[in-house]
Structure 1
Amino acid sequence: MGRVSQAQAEENRRRVVETASRLFRERGTHVSVADLMKAAGLTHGGFYKQFASKEALVDEATAHAFAPLTRLRADGAERYDGERDEAQRALIDTYLSAEHRDSAADGCPIAGLAADMARDPREGEAHRVYAEGVGDFAAWLETEDQDGMARLCTMLGALVLSRATKGSPLSDEILTAARTALAATD
């Protein structure tokens, strides 16, 4: 079997990072390299041609996972013509929806990676990116009357609890209660 071109190697790396970003949010960073590469449609042996270690991939996949959240905030600001309050309400409604609850792989990296960040003793690049992402999201959620971190904690807690109780009536009740509480503070 011949060597892959540089363009193909770059595409393979992009595919692994994207797959890792989704799997880590859905199942945690403990996903094995073999399972990750299989999900990406590549061989296990190809992993170490692309990454120095699994930790290096965790760092890169964590940064990749935050990009959609950043785009979502920017898209909201554009869609609502700079009306930050309206953009925030729309994002909160999307965040606290059954669709978001049911799609962890494509969902919020703050919720998806929280337990792994808490357990990882490295406190390296992934932790830095994660903490920066939490801070940026909280700052974006801030209003004249409400602390953004408190709003984020309400949203995050509701999402995690809703996912943990999925399949029971309590799951939807949790999302509704958080949306109602946050709307009351507007």
Structure 2
Amino acid sequence: MRISKEKAADNRAALIRAASKLFRERGIDGVGVAEISKEAGLTHGALYAHFRSKDELALEALSYGLDQANSRMYSGTVDGMPDLARFLDRYLSLESRDDFGNRCAMAASASEIGRQDNALSARFAEGYMVMVRAFERQIAQNEPGSDALARAMVVVSTMIGSLAVARGAAKGNPAVSEQVLQATRRLVDELMRAPARTSVTS
């Protein structure tokens, strides 16, 4: 039985949402296409009607997750700029730490993406740089003349890594997990506002 274009589009979107959630919760290699289809309320065959392979679906799922992050970052603005303080408060929170399936796709998959194909790696890098550019603009505004790009790259890398570490420590040592998030939040503010230190050589 043929389905309408609208229904086909809805099914495709449901598969992407389901894959994005499950991949963030359990990893790309930890989820099969049958599980994704079931989560989306569709059959195994329906998935392959929309995607040639699991890798193709993984690319779309990663893109969906990165788009979610960008939407959250730009959900509020201050003087035409993203409200990055608000974004950071939410990103480095216990709620974000504990919500694998709906929060940062980069923190959920950073170590795994390196074992995937070139397309996923390129999309990861693209999503990373979108976030970096937002922070770069804010840092350049706060500290004209600073190496805003380098500091923004450190900020975003620190955010992603800290969320991953906080998740890793959460069950075994909740206190350490919380300290990681709190310390990162303080130090990120310093990186965004304070001039970068220069080394002195004799």
Once the two structures are superposed, residues 74-94 of structure 1 have per-residue CA deviations (whole angstroms, 9 ceiling, x without a partner) of: 2232xx23255xx12221111
Q: Does 1:178 align with 2:174?
A: no
Provide the identity percentage: 33
Larger radius of gyration: 2
Q: Which residue of 2 aligns with 1:47?
A: 47
**Unpaired stretches in structure 1, ≥5 consecutive residues:** none
Q: Which residue of 2 aligns with 1:71?
A: 71
In structure 2, relative to structure 1, the CA distance for the partners of 1:63 and 1:83 (3 Å cut) is closer
Once the two structures are superposed, residues 124-174 of structure 1 have per-residue CA deviations (whole angstroms, 9 ceiling, x without a partner) of: 2x2222111111111212213551011112211210110001132111111
Q: Which residue of 2 aligns with 1:129?
A: 123
Give the distance between the partners of 1:76 and 1:154, measured in 2 at CA.
22
TM-score normalized by the length of structure 1 = 0.89
* Coordinate RMSD, CA, aligned: 1.6
Q: For 1:118, give the aligned amino acid.
A: G
Q: Counterparts of 1:98-177 in structure 2 under 5 Å?
A: 98-120=94-116, 122-124=117-119, 126-142=120-136, 143=139, 144=143, 145=146, 147-167=151-171, 168-177=174-183
Query: In the TM superposition, what is the alpha-carbon distance from 1:184 to its structure 2 partner?
Result: 3.1
Once the two structures are superposed, residues 55-98 of structure 1 have per-residue CA deviations (whole angstroms, 9 ceiling, x without a partner) of: 11111111111111111222232xx23255xx122211111000
Query: In the TM superposition, what is the alpha-carbon distance from 1:51 to its structure 2 partner?
Result: 1.0
Q: Which residue of 1 aligns with 2:87?
A: 91
Q: For 1:90, give the aligned amino acid.
A: R
Give the distance between the partners of 1:83 and 1:135, measured in 2 at CA.
17
Give the distance between the partners of 2:28 and 2:81, measured in 1 at CA.
37
Q: Does 1:13 align with 2:12?
A: yes
Q: Which residue of 1 aligns with 2:198?
A: none
**Unpaired stretches in structure 2, ≥5 consecutive residues:** 194-202
Query: Which 4+ residue blocks in structure 1 deviate beyond 6 angstroms?
Result: none
Q: Which residue of 1 aligns with 2:26?
A: 27
Q: For 2:109, give the aligned amino acid.
A: L
